[in-house]
Amino acid sequence: MNEQQSSQQLADIAVVGVGVMGSNLARNFARHGYRVALYDQRPENVDTLISEHGDEGEFVPTRNLDELAANLSTPRRALLMVPAGTATDAAIDDLVEAFDEGDILIDGGNSLYTDTVRRERAVAVTGRLFVGAGISGGEEGALHGPSIMPGGPRESWEFIRPLLESIAAKVDGTPCVRYIGANGAGHFVKMVHNGIEYADMQLIGEAYHLLRHGAGLEPGRIAEIFREWNAGDLDSYLIGITADILETADPDTGAPMIDVIQDAAGQKGTGRWTAKEALDLGIPATAIGEAVFARALSSSTELRAAALTHFPTGYLADFASLGISVEEFIEHVRRALYASKLIAYAQGFDLIAAGSAEYDWKINPRDLAAVWRGGCIIQAAFLDRIDNAYEKLPELPSLLLDSYFTEELSGLLDSWRTVAASAIQLGLAAPVFSSSLSYYDSLCSQRLPAAMVQAQRDYFGAHTYHRVDTEGVFHLDWTGDKSQQQRR
């Protein structure tokens, strides 16, 4: 560092990758009084940020990583906002070379948690510190206050904590950021957050679909319904933006915007990751899995077009055949939506608990409730209830066993069944409503079909079984003399 550099004020943090998210996070830091160094492989991105928002705070544009390192106070802290995958690996390698021991690299992208585990180990060998931080809230959250889920070496937390707490969303004055756990814990939690988001979005879509194509309501009326719902138990970010969407008209045709958008949902992979992880850990996150499959099916446009031509539907002629009024149906849908959302969140928390146990992260579920209360896509009023549940019993096996949620679900059950049955009768797909109810019924069943499955496994593969009336592991000679052998 030369004399001129040592005399100037150094930046508090760097943002590497100044796209939409990186740009807004940099502006957020600057608005909170931090001096922010900027680097992007496309220098014009840095120039655009400076020209359009340079008056929002102190920015230090740099043209290469050596210049970036020279303009940062130590320990250096750099937030990477580059595409997940090979681009992230390349950026990490370059920063490790430019930085010194003790400096901190923070990956704020949607990286797969196993990549984060690998990267943390590799960076640790060099003496640098690597943090995988899940960041939720989209571009608006990045600018005005996101939900942040950092994981990595605990010693890095105190060096990045003031910066992250300052830019995070605040609920009742509390920042929506907590240290989650070692290595990949932060990105694992963000992955499951996105899985819950998939389920939540699909459920809201199914509720809209039933009201629109079942009850025959127009988008404007459904917008009013969602506004009303957002003032009660369903108060959440996604319910609020759904009302906004349904109130919006297409600027070109004047038709409801929802009617001109093709019904084929995209995905970037985090929902699939969550479903795969649930399978690997043996957690029945059925709501998330069904939501992922629903997006995939919606995008199978050629198959859907062929089916529409060749398949009979067999649905009822009209809504009146259900024998309930429209107002009654609206309330049934509200209650079924609430019940199904509770299932999705409970399954997500179950998956995080399993991941925490598998990788010894010691994740505190109350931290998740606190972090998700604001700034993120799945923020919802009932997260306070989730916090209360884990405060009463930190080792709670499932949210659904908390007295509040047990009582809530029991009161919602009749409406839940009415909506699932109505969807079937009307020929309207509601996969997450239905699978969530099936999950609940499975938990409450004294006997499941699994006895038949296990008998079949023993029949064709000698996979053994347990008896209900005695201890031990058994195999039956199904095709011979029907003798039963006890096995260790």
- Go through the chain and tell me how many residues it has: 488
Q: What distance in Å separates the CA atoms of residue 58 and residue 27, rounded to the nearest whole number?
A: 9
Q: What distance in Å separates the CA atoms of residue 126 and residue 390, rounded to the nearest whole number?
A: 39
CA-based angle 123:128:132, to the nearest 5? 60
Q: What distance in Å separates the CA atoms of residue 420 and residue 488, rounded to the nearest whole number?
A: 44
Q: Exactly one of 190, 290, 341, 408 is catalytic; name it.
A: 190
C-alpha dihedral, 282 to 191 to 379 to 233, nearest 10° = -20
- What's the distance, CA 196 to chain centroid? 5
pLDDT tens, per residue, the chain with 488 residues: 333 344 368 999 999 999 999 999 999 999 999 999 999 999 999 999 999 999 999 999 999 999 999 999 999 999 999 998 999 999 999 999 999 999 999 999 999 999 999 999 999 999 999 999 999 999 999 999 999 999 999 999 999 999 999 999 999 999 999 999 999 999 999 999 999 999 999 999 999 999 999 999 999 999 999 999 999 999 999 999 999 999 999 999 999 999 999 998 888 888 999 999 999 999 999 999 999 999 999 998 899 889 888 888 766 658 998 999 999 999 999 999 999 999 999 999 999 999 999 999 999 999 999 999 999 999 998 999 999 999 999 999 999 999 999 999 999 999 999 999 999 999 999 999 999 999 999 999 999 999 999 999 999 999 999 999 999 999 999 999 999 999 86
Q: Exactly one of 56, 67, 155, 197 is catalytic; name it.
A: 197
- Surface-to-core class of residue 122, CB atoms within 10 Å of its CB (0-12 exposed, 13-18 middle, 19+ buried): middle
Helix (H) or strand (E) holding 135: strand 129-136
Coil/strand/helix, residue 442: helix
Scan for tokens 């195999």, then name that residue: 475
DSSP calls for 313-341? ----S-GGGG-S-HHHHHHHHHHHHHHHH
Judge whether 341 counts as a catalytic residue.
Answer: no
Number of helices and strands in the chain (H, E)? 21, 11
Strand partners, 130: 105
Judge whether 197 counts as a catalytic residue.
Answer: yes
Scan for tokens 């707490």, then name that residue: 165
Structure-token pair, residue 471: 């201890």
State the maximum Cα–Cα separation within the chain, in Å, rounded to a whole number.
93
Does the N-terminal peptide bond of residue 75 adopt cis geometry, omega within 30 degrees of 0? yes
